[in-house]
A and B are shown apart, each in its own frame.
Chain A
Amino acid sequence: ETGVTQTPRHLVMGMTNKKSLKCEQHLGHNAMYWYKQSAKKPLELMFVYSLEERVENNSVPSRFSPECPNSSHLFLHLHTLQPEDSALYLCASSQGRNSGNTIYFGEGSWLTVV
């Protein structure tokens, strides 16, 4: 148990569906992240939120829409996805943005787009 909880753990959706991934951290951190992990590729940073403001958006397609309503919760809204978006989506959190601070990861949400 890392203190970062992701739901659902598995999601299968059609290309015309709208769904959301949820992340909750119980660590009192003030920064949260979405990463994408695809087979045979390094982890890709998607979004960074610091103090509930989006501070990083690494050229992610608009079919992915993040939302951070408070410092403990982070959502990733999904719509009209493509099969190549199938991957493990990892949420993470940290306290502050110092380079030495540890980032804690959730167990991930496996997404399959059919």
Chain B
Amino acid sequence: AQSVTQLDSHVSVSEGTPVLLRCNYSSSYSPSLFWYVQHPNKGLQLLLKYTSAATLVKGINGFEAEFKKSETSFHLTKPSAHMSDAAEYFCVVSDSSSGSARQLTFGSGTQLTVLP
């Protein structure tokens, strides 16, 4: 079984300051991990993914995430927030241990607010 926990339902930062969105996961197998972003009235867009290669993953729009197996974490960071980063962010874990069609387990989401 797999699960994912996003530790903060809401995060608020000022424009130009760093962003940290926290995610912890559990998985019986070597997981793949993703971060998706959802802007209002839009679908989910992939920010970045980890699939057992480099543990520091760089994504679009200046976001990156580090896979830490010892801490079972995959936190999302950005050095400097922009107003356009305001959105909801989802951490997602996937493994193929079931042998059936692939499933993703989604976190409950973190709403990021960027203050001017």
Contacts and interface: CB of A to CB of B under 8 A. Distances in A.
Interface of A: 2, 4, 6, 31, 41-43, 45, 48, 50, 55-56, 90, 92, 94, 97-108, 110
B43 A97 contact: no
A110 B46 CA distance: 21
B51 A100 contact: yes
B64 to A, nearest CB: 17
26 contacts: A2-B45, A31-B102, A43-B104, A43-B106, A45-B103, A45-B104, A48-B102, A55-B101, A56-B101, A94-B102, A97-B96, A97-B102, A98-B102, A99-B95, A99-B102, A100-B32, A102-B34, A102-B49, A103-B46, A105-B44, A105-B45, A106-B43, A107-B41, A107-B42, A108-B42, A110-B41
A42 B45 contact: no
Contacts of B43: 2, 4, 6, 90, 105-108
Interface in B38-73: 41-46, 49, 51-52
Interface residues of B, number: 26
Contacts of B95: 99
Contact of B106 (A42, A56, A100): A42
B108 interface: yes
B49 A55 contact: no
Given A56-B100, A103-B104, 9 more contacts: A6-B43, A42-B109, A48-B102, A56-B101, A56-B103, A90-B44, A103-B46, A105-B45, A110-B41
Nearest to A107: B43
B42 A42 contact: no
